[in-house]
Structure 1
Amino acid sequence: MSNRLAAATSPYLLQHADNPVEWWEWGPEAFEEARRRGVPVLLSVGYAACHWCHVMAHESFEDEATAALMNDFFVNIKVDREERPDVDAVYMAATQAMTGHGGWPMTCVLDHEGRPFFAGTYFPDQPRHGQPAFRQVLTSLAEAWFKKPEDVASAAAAVAEHLRQGALTASATLGATDLDQAVRGLAGEFDPLAGGFGGAPKFPPSMVLEFLRRYVDARDSGAAAGDDELVRQARHMLVRTLHAMAGSGMYDQIGGGFARYAVDRGWVVPHFEKMLYDNAQLLGLYARRDNDMSRRIAAETADFLLRELRTPQGGFASALDADSLTPEGHSEEGAFYAWTPAALVEALGHDRGAWAAELFNVTEDGTFEKGMSTLTLRHMPTASGEIARLSEVKARLLDARSLRARPHRDDKVVAAWNGMAISGLCAAGTFLGRPDYIQAAVDAARLLLHVHLVDGRLRRVSRDGAVGAHAGVLEDYACVALGFLDLLQATGEAAWLDRAGALLDVALEQFRADDGGFFDTAADAEALVARPREFSDNASPCGQSAMVHALATYAAITGSGGHRTAAEQTLAVLAPLATRAPRFAGWALTAAETMLAGPEEIVVVGEPGAERDALALAARRRPGALVLVATPTETGEDAALDLLRHRPTVDGRPTAYVCRGMVCQQPVTDPASL
């Protein structure tokens, strides 16, 4: 028998529709029911690709005795964190404050006003590793609610007050000295043996690497001055980490795309779920690097997005699950991706199978579990014959793997993550010369326009072409606006500028805070126990840092001083965290680096052809440059964009105009001169 979640649109909620727990979706009706019954609210937050969410569901939420305890003493709410990031943000802040850590599944217990008085993450079905069993936790909480109401009320009030005091004090805009200091701070946390930052688990530091890339490129190109030793350190951290991730078990060596993180310091064993937001960011990062390895990773990752995450409507699904069925019918993490030497021989034959096992570090003992190995690249072949052999082996292994039971796909379309995918595909399309990637970006953008944009406001998710009810949050407006601005640069279609501007208008009207930054939810959004406001980047940019990029890019294209000022004010709000903890402010630091350089505004004008393409590519290699490409007929008095007006060619040759800070340089026709 199904519960209330059977009517949900979220794939994660639908996974729990047959639980014996009497789940509710988040909403006032659930809290009203709790008041009527005089019981607390149990809030469980997770997402569809979360391995430990599945474990807790199987151990506890599918267990009749546990469900009975939950149903008797709580009103139980299940939330998809990807669908309701606002709810997740508020209660994750509470969980971190109360326990010192966070993660999913997240379990909070709330009073009737939504104030949490207990929080935790995964709880086992039996006491284990110093953790109480979930049923013990439930019993204790029910006893506290009914027998010690004063203590519960006091704890809830204290946590709620803490949540409402989450602002930082704005400082001056980040300058060159601050960026140098951020590089020094990152160097102090860099792992010199394996690349990346910190120990296990090790996440792909996408935004930090993009900051380092722009920092190095700006100083290599002469766009900014820098200390030679500091630039060397930054370059080493960037290159070492990019190469380490590309050869790691976290990267799908035969199918392309990255898993969410590695559980070990050496990047050998991934947590196998694949998230759209990771791959969208890493796609753009690798695409902008000018070397064979980076181009290969970018192309394979873009192909993975189009092959495995693209929806029939042209958008991109949220994630692939970590778990899949084994040949014996058991659901296990990594079953789709791991190999044994015997499986390689079966797929490739003896000689090629042995060669692949050596190259990919597949051993008899296994590097993962149960004698299975993840695929890590021992070295990248350089001889043409070996490269061809590797390409053939990967294709055959991909075919063999396609016969396995596939991981579940969370096929909801999240606006912000699709905005990131649009940006990543635009970068891959322009730098790799792949118009099909740009067309895929256009298709995704049209879905956002025609489905997610309702009465001028963004909705957070859609599924199967039907828009969900939940309002877009700040990251949706910022990432989609930036995606549209990247499409403007990739396609030259001026309409994308107007569409981005309309989204930024809503953000400035509905999300702005008194200190010049932004809240994560709109002024007219559902009121929660605290209005969420994130300052740090996590696996994806926080809404405020993403908004700095969108505002600054829009200002560079249009010359709007108001948008530039808003970007600078928001960056000042983020500055204290960026200087104190640069690992968690990579996107703010990237924006600061670009804004310090202007950013450069480059118009390339000329007739289509190889000569103009070469000049445009050189322009796009400039760190953080905004680049528009047009024909001579598009740059006259009636040009669609002010930035294009009065830009004739020089001596009939394709010509680049470079401006920065309302000052323009002499136009050039030679790519090397850029």
Structure 2
Amino acid sequence: MANRLAAATSPYLLQHQDNPVDWWEWGQDAFEEARRRNVPVLLSVGYAACHWCHVMAHESFEDQATAAYLNEHFVAVKVDREERPDVDAVYMQATTAMTGHGGWPMTCVLDHDGSPFFAGTYFPDEPRHGQPSFRQVLEALVDAWHNRGDDVRRVADNLRDHLRREAAMTAGPVDREVLDKAVTTLHREYDAQRGGFGGAPKFPPSMVLEFLVRHGSPDALTMVDHTLDAMSRGGIHDQLGGGFARYSVDADWVVPHFEKMLYDNALLLRVCADRRTPVAAWAGEGIADFLLRELRTPEGGFASALDADSEGEEGRFYVWTPAQLVDVLGEADGRWAAELFSVTEAGTFEHGASTLQLREDPDDLDRWRDVKARLLAAREQRVRPERDDKVVAAWNGLAVSGLARLGLWLDEQEYVDAAAQAADLLLRVHVVDGRLRRVSRDGAVGAPAGVLEDYGCVAAGLLDLVQATGEARWLDAATGLLDTALAHFVADGGGFFDTADDAEALVVRPRDPSDNAAPSGLSATLHALVTSSALTGDDGHRDAAERALASVHPLVTQAPRFAGWSLAAAASMLEGPREIAVVGPSGSPRDALADAARRDPNAVVVVADGPDDRIPLLAGRVPVDGQPAAYVCRHHVCAAPVTDPADLAGAPPG
């Protein structure tokens, strides 16, 4: 018999609808039930593509005895962290404070006010590697709740006070010196042999790479190019279907954790579009094609993720043995493909299978394309990983940005059109009574309110569409979202809270400026405010961006790896950014001007036939002697228009 989660819209919650656990969704009803029964609340947070979430569910939440104990002694609440990032943020901060690390599945135990007094991540069904079993943890917590109530209250009070202190920020300047020191710090942490930062597990550092692209120094670009090349040649990159997995379990990018997330790929798409190298074109086109082929929903949005598992095994859909290659391709092409893709008899993964790598360029491009197509067609006959098909506003905003920018560079109108269709879905479905909602599924909007990340990423995506299409409607929608964000999310002294002033009150109002798997709400909003100001001349948006950037000074100076998106915005702000209007009749001369303008990743560029008062950057801009012209400005101060693309490579005005 299904539990309460059968009525949920989240695919992750629906995965648990048949558990014997008497799950509740997050809400006051669950806490009132806990008060009535005088039991604590057990909060379990995960997401649909999370491998270890599936493992813990199978071991513990599907176990009748464990579920019976949990139902008797707790009120169990299940949360999709992608649907409720505000809840996840608060309790992940608590988990990190109590254990020194975080991750999913996340397990917290709360008092009736929502204050945590215990936190952890995955717990096995049996004691293992010095870790207690989940049942042992539950029994110890029940004993503490009933027999050591004073200790429970003391821990909960102390942790609640700690979370509130952590929300405070101090301000300082983020200038050229800060950005240069950030590059120096990143260079010290850089893996010069393998690319990327740190050791295993190794995550694609997309937001840091975007900052390094915008910084533009030789050291910065060397780190970008080496990392992008190493990742793209590794097993973390789907060599057949395009797109990147969540992370590599090793430092060499060989064996990924196979889940594929929309936000990872959307962020890497933008890096590729802004870097503009042959490797960036190859990787970026693969990502875009993957998004359109495998994550696009019937409504025109993009699904959140593909699972890591299929047929009960992680990675089974993606890996190959030499014999499988021969079966599909024949003896000669099979052996050639095995050598090209580093598929060996020993294997690089489990059961003698290998991930596909491309450590060297193929010696025969036509043969490579043919082999890829045949292998991809054969792979399509395998049992596919499950897809989490909810549409998350923020991540779709990131996809809109990446597709619009890549489409402009590669002259692929299909990508720009897909970005516009996703943006239309966001505005048509996710905006309700002037406010943004976080998720939708099958074209129906969900209840969770949009958080700052949603407003910032969607607004930034719409502003990239303005630059890709020249259509003013996207600008109107973006500035409306930003004005709403400034009305409801701003914190005293600059910066932002992650939830609105009229949102559900949690134990602490979340305010985390650090980038995690996706940009923080603050850094996403920074990008949108800077671009909006460049397009509209709105100094209010520029002032808000400067105050917000100052509020993250401690983070960008002390931990630049976790502030890449804020640093990228800061790089653009220090460059102005350059505001470039290209006007004139369509054709190759205008295209050449536009392409030269867009080579600067810090530029905001809009292209049109002539002046357009609906987009202030285009107001009064006319061709010169009937020829296309580029008007280059900074801080709304403009130089004389130029007609030669070579002139756009010079120093900006002002």
Same-fold status (TM-score > 0.5): yes
Counterpart CA distance in 2 for 1:198 and 1:10 is 34
CA shift for structure 1 position 29: 0.5
- Aligned position for 1:626: 604
- Aligned position for 1:338: 319
- Aligned position for 1:116: 116
CA shift for structure 1 position 539: 1.7
Task: Give deviations 1:228-268, integer Å, cap 9, x for gaps.
Answer: xxx33222211110101110111100000010000000010
Give the match's secondary structure for 1:268: coil
Counterpart CA distance in 1 for 2:608 and 2:266 is 27
Aligned length: 648
C-alpha contact 1:168 1:576 (8 A) present in aligned 2:
no
Task: Give deviations 1:172-210, integer Å, cap 9, x for gaps.
Answer: 331111111000000110001100000000000001001
Give the match's secondary structure for 1:422: helix
- Aligned position for 1:41: 41
Give the match's secondary structure for 1:288: helix
- In structure 2, give the amino acid aligned to 1:275: M
Task: Give deviations 1:329-383, integer Å, cap 9, x for gaps.
Answer: xx000000010000111111111111111011101010011101001112123x5
C-alpha contact 1:173 1:569 (8 A) present in aligned 2:
no
- In structure 1, give the amino acid aligned to 2:437: R
- Aligned position for 1:671: 645
Counterpart CA distance in 2 for 1:488 and 1:578 is 30
Counterpart CA distance in 1 for 2:618 and 2:173 is 30
- In structure 1, give the amino acid aligned to 2:299: Q
CA shift for structure 1 position 214: 1.1
Counterpart CA distance in 2 for 1:37 and 1:466 is 35
TM-score normalized with structure 1 length: 0.95
Task: Give deviations 1:45-102, integer Å, cap 9, x for gaps.
Answer: 0000000000000000000111011011000000000000000000000000000000
Matches within 5 A, 1:63-212: 63-212=63-212
- Aligned position for 2:651: none
- Aligned position for 1:552: 530
- In structure 2, give the amino acid aligned to 1:378: R
Find 1:353's aligned residue among 334, 344, 352. Answer: 334
Aligned pair 1:502/2:489, yes or no?
no
Find 2:254's aligned residue among 268, 271, 283. Answer: 268
Find 1:470's aligned residue among 448, 466, 478. Answer: 448
Matches within 5 A, 1:503-542: 503-542=481-520
Find 1:374's aligned residue among 328, 352, 355. Answer: 355
- Aligned position for 1:585: 563
Aligned pair 1:428/2:406, yes or no?
yes
Counterpart CA distance in 2 for 1:642 and 1:615 is 20
C-alpha contact 1:208 1:586 (8 A) present in aligned 2:
yes
CA shift for structure 1 position 598: 0.2
Give the match's secondary structure for 1:441: helix
C-alpha contact 2:340 2:358 (8 A) present in aligned 1:
yes
Give the match's secondary structure for 1:361: coil
Counterpart CA distance in 2 for 1:449 and 1:92 is 30
Counterpart CA distance in 2 for 1:399 and 1:113 is 54
Find 2:228's aligned residue among 242, 253, 257. Answer: 242
Task: Give deviations 1:245-301, integer Å, cap 9, x for gaps.
Answer: 110111100000010000000010000000000001111111222222211211111
Counterpart CA distance in 1 for 2:620 and 2:535 is 15
Task: Give deviations 1:585-621, integer Å, cap 9, x for gaps.
Answer: 0011101110000000001111111221121111111
C-alpha contact 2:452 2:498 (8 A) present in aligned 1:
yes
Find 1:640's aligned residue among 614, 631, 652. Answer: 614
Counterpart CA distance in 2 for 1:639 and 1:76 is 56
Aligned pair 1:653/2:639, yes or no?
no
- Aligned position for 1:227: none
Give the match's secondary structure for 2:552: helix
Counterpart CA distance in 1 for 2:537 and 2:337 is 55
Give the match's secondary structure for 2:418: helix
CA shift for structure 1 position 497: 0.9
Aligned pair 1:297/2:279, yes or no?
no
Find 1:255's aligned residue among 238, 241, 252. Answer: 241
C-alpha contact 1:5 1:17 (8 A) present in aligned 2:
yes
Q: Which runs of 5+ in 2 are unaligned?
A: 649-654
Identify the range of structure 1 (168-177 vs 245-254) with the bigger mean alpha-carbon deviation.
Answer: 168-177
- Aligned position for 1:324: 310
C-alpha contact 1:336 1:406 (8 A) present in aligned 2:
yes
CA shift for structure 1 position 168: 4.6
- Aligned position for 2:652: none
Find 2:263's aligned residue among 270, 277, 282. Answer: 277
- In structure 1, give the amino acid aligned to 2:144: A
C-alpha contact 2:579 2:636 (8 A) present in aligned 1:
no
- Aligned position for 1:224: none
Task: Give deviations 1:11-40, integer Å, cap 9, x for gaps.
Answer: 000000000000000000000100011100
- Aligned position for 1:306: 292
CA RMSD for the aligned pairs?
Answer: 0.9
Matches within 5 A, 1:596-635: 596-632=574-610, 635=611
Counterpart CA distance in 1 for 2:10 and 2:276 is 40
Counterpart CA distance in 2 for 1:498 and 1:645 is 15
CA shift for structure 1 position 324: 0.4
Counterpart CA distance in 2 for 1:39 and 1:169 is 36
Counterpart CA distance in 2 for 1:258 and 1:58 is 27
Give the match's secondary structure for 1:279: helix
Give the match's secondary structure for 2:165: coil
Counterpart CA distance in 2 for 1:321 and 1:623 is 33
Overall identity of the aligned pairs, in %:
67
Counterpart CA distance in 2 for 1:290 and 1:541 is 22
Matches within 5 A, 1:348-427: 348-381=329-362, 386-427=364-405
Counterpart CA distance in 2 for 1:388 and 1:568 is 51
C-alpha contact 1:4 1:24 (8 A) present in aligned 2:
yes
Q: Which runs of 5+ in 1 are unaligned?
A: 217-230, 326-330
Counterpart CA distance in 2 for 1:286 and 1:561 is 30
Counterpart CA distance in 1 for 2:380 and 2:333 is 19
- In structure 2, give the amino acid aligned to 1:93: Q
Counterpart CA distance in 2 for 1:645 and 1:19 is 60
Counterpart CA distance in 2 for 1:83 and 1:257 is 23
Matches within 5 A, 1:25-36: 25-36=25-36
Counterpart CA distance in 1 for 2:444 and 2:220 is 45
Counterpart CA distance in 2 for 1:626 and 1:378 is 36
CA shift for structure 1 position 667: 1.5
CA shift for structure 1 position 304: 0.4
Give the match's secondary structure for 2:9: coil
C-alpha contact 1:352 1:393 (8 A) present in aligned 2:
yes
Give the match's secondary structure for 2:44: strand
Counterpart CA distance in 2 for 1:211 and 1:130 is 41
Aligned pair 1:438/2:416, yes or no?
yes
Identify the range of structure 1 (656-665 vs 5-14) with the bigger mean alpha-carbon deviation.
Answer: 656-665
- Aligned position for 1:225: none
CA shift for structure 1 position 622: 1.2
